[in-house]
Chain A
Amino acid sequence: MSTTQTPPEAPAGPSVQRLARQRSLWERTNKATLVMAGVTLAVFVFFALADSAFLTFANLSNLATQVGPVLIVGVAMTFVITAGQIDLSVGSIVAFVAAISAQLLVSGWDSSLVMVAALLMGLGWGLVNGWFTAYQGIPAFIVTLATLSVVRGLALFQTEGFSVPIASTTFVAKLGTARWLGFSATAWIALAVVVLGLVLLHATRFGQYVIGIGAAAESVRRAGVNVKLVTMAALGFSGLAAGLAGLLIAARLGSGSANSAQGFELTVIAAVVLGGTSLLGGRGTIVGTLIGALLTQIIANGLTLLSVSPYLTPIITGAVLVLVVWVNLRGRDLAWFVQRLTRRP
């Protein structure tokens, strides 16, 4: 503590500069995210040592592509969960947009139109979720559980369950194979979404209100904020992100299937929660979601390389999820304990 030269008789009011001073990096760091970063690094090192194919550029680039869709939707899901909501329908929206976009391409739509349509379809479903949740007061859990069923159902009904191939001459198909500096378009777009998410959550009023709504919606409402609109926007964002992910997945696979992205919503939610975003709302971290998404996909990727039975992958992933969230909770206590020990009187 620096001693400022205040006269001894002055009232004990703290100085403006001292009050407004930025806290140290350690104090600002989300401890749960920090623990998770450590775990992710450990898992990364483990696979690097266990299999020589893991730490190759080709595999890391592949990993980035695999992480892409989870990350894109995870960033948006971070807003939804931080606002105290949930979106279970993202997997279905991914499948819907993938299948319908492929159908539109087959029916002769131009790629540019299809790309816009894909985003609008995703946004549309997201706004449906958002409207019922925010303006009709139905819990997001119920609304998105319903759309999870309806949206995939519509896609199945429309495609009769068949995978719809995308001609390799279309721009969408080329987008799926495009690379820049060795990384796929999906990876680069995911990176851009992460940056967008960081800025939105931490530097704008929208992000501020999302956090506030998750903590105490009534307080934010009384501050004159349109809480319903912000809530709907958050769910609209996750729909939009799912639309983007659906387009990218169809582009990469060269086909759109109503059966794709099964269980995708759980992977995304796991990634978000692993990263340290509170399921109770009010606390969100985009960096954490990045780490959480990486962790889930490193496990999947590494286990595939080790030729572990594919049926073991979900078991191990689920076990790690529980373990890591447990460590995560203890980690918070641990950080608090260390802080207590090291705090100067």
Chain B
Amino acid sequence: MAPTGSTTTAPGDLLVELSGITKSYGPVKSLRGVDLTLRRGEVLGLVGDNGAGKSTLMKVLAGAVQHDDGEIRVHGRPVRFSTPSEAQAEKIGIVYQDLALCDTLDVASNLFLGREPKRGPFIDRKAMHEQAARILADLHVKVTSTHQEIGTLSGGQRQTVAIARAVSFAPDVLILDEPTAALAVAEVESVLRLIGEVAAQGVGVILITHRLQDLFRVCDRITVMYEGQSVDDAAIADLDIEKLVGLITRTPQPTRTEGSRA
């Protein structure tokens, strides 16, 4: 149980409520009672040490993994996803760390993979590229052309294309798993700016990251997980990096601040 959880807000604002989510893989209890809430237009940082259960929890919410116990409410309605497409139908989008792009297809083809606009039996490439360009321009994604092959893009560009793809499904909830890992500094900036743009459109964003400094750039609130449980939920304004490290490692006061700056 989260000690500071269950803040009361207007139901319309609340996009997602997870309560008491559990998941076991055989004898391993990956999730042992997680609570989490997400509001419209909010960027929620989901943090915790390796193995805390962040990714598993997000897979549950995205329908890729089925939980054992607990309740998921989306827009106040209880739901249970058995496939990713069911989660997608509830307007929950996720960008996994591996991005799920095809290197030899161009940007537009990747944005519309699996739902290419058609004219008769054929792909309507003109419409596809125009729509892709509009999506990218709206989000200020920096690529030079929708005809560019994904394999020729930088890591940051690939990340932004993957996010743009997820956004183009018009999700209410967007889950980003380590979007800034292994990116150059300037590219981190563009990804963070994009996250801000997405949230500004009213999407609730859940950001999983190990880069704590990113959280202070874009997040409104942080949920901390520890050994399969949600242990803290705090507004970012009430935190600094030392306090946050303390929450993640469950040590009372700042101890490993130096290491966390990397």
Residues of A within 8 A of B (CB): 11-23, 27-28, 199, 203-205, 208, 211-212, 214-216, 218-220, 222-225, 282-283
The answer on a CB contact under 8 Å between A21 and B145 is yes
The answer to whether A205 touches B147, judged by C-beta atoms less than 8 angstroms apart, is no
A21 (CB) vs chain B CBs: closest residue: B145
- Using Cβ atoms and an 8 Å threshold, which residues of chain A touch B68? none
Is the beta-carbon distance between A203 and B140 smaller than 8 angstroms?
A: no
Complex alpha-carbon distance, A224 and B100, angstroms: 12
The 7 closest A-B pairs by CB, nearest first: A223-B114, A19-B133, A20-B133, A282-B104, A215-B102, A219-B100, A20-B129
Say which size band chain B's interface belongs to.
Answer: 35 or more
Give 5 A-B pairs besides A23-B145, A220-B113 with Cβ atoms closer than 8 angstroms: A16-B130, A21-B147, A214-B104, A219-B100, A222-B100
B109 contacts chain A at the CB level, 8 A cutoff = yes
Give B123 Cβ to nearest chain A Cβ, in Å.
6
Residues of A within 8 A of B121 (CB): 204
**Partner pick for A216 among B100, B129, B130, CB 8 A cutoff:** B100
Please determine whether A22 and B147 come into contact, CB atoms closer than 8 angstroms.
yes
Residues of B that sit less than 8 Å from A by CB? 84-85, 98-105, 108-109, 113-116, 118, 121-123, 125, 129-130, 132-134, 136-137, 140, 142-147
Shortest distance between the CB of A82 and any CB in chain B (Å): 9
Instruction: Report which residue of A19, A22, A216 has the largest number of chain B beta carbons within 10 angstroms of its beta carbon.
Output: A19
For A23, the closest partner residue in chain B by CB is B147
| A28 contacts across to B, CB distance below 8 A | 147
Q: Choose among B98, B105, B122, B129 the residue that contacts A204 (Cβ–Cβ < 8 A).
A: B122
Q: How far is the CA of A12 from the CA of B140 in the complex (A)?
A: 8
Which of chain B's residues have a CB closer than 8 A to the CB of A220?
Answer: 102, 113-114
Q: Given the known A-B contacts A20-B132, A208-B116, A224-B85, are A11 and B140 also in contact in the complex, defined by CB atoms under 8 Å? A: yes
CB-CB < 8 A to A13: which residues of B?
137, 140
Contacting B105 at CB < 8 Å: which of A14, A18, A215? Answer: A215
**Which residue, A15, A27, A203, A219, has most C-beta atoms of chain B within 10 A?**
A219
A205 nearest in chain B by CB position = B116
Pull 14 A–B residue pairs with CB atoms less than 8 Å apart, ordered by A. A16-B137, A20-B108, A23-B145, A23-B147, A28-B147, A203-B122, A203-B125, A212-B109, A214-B104, A216-B100, A223-B115, A224-B85, A225-B114, A282-B103
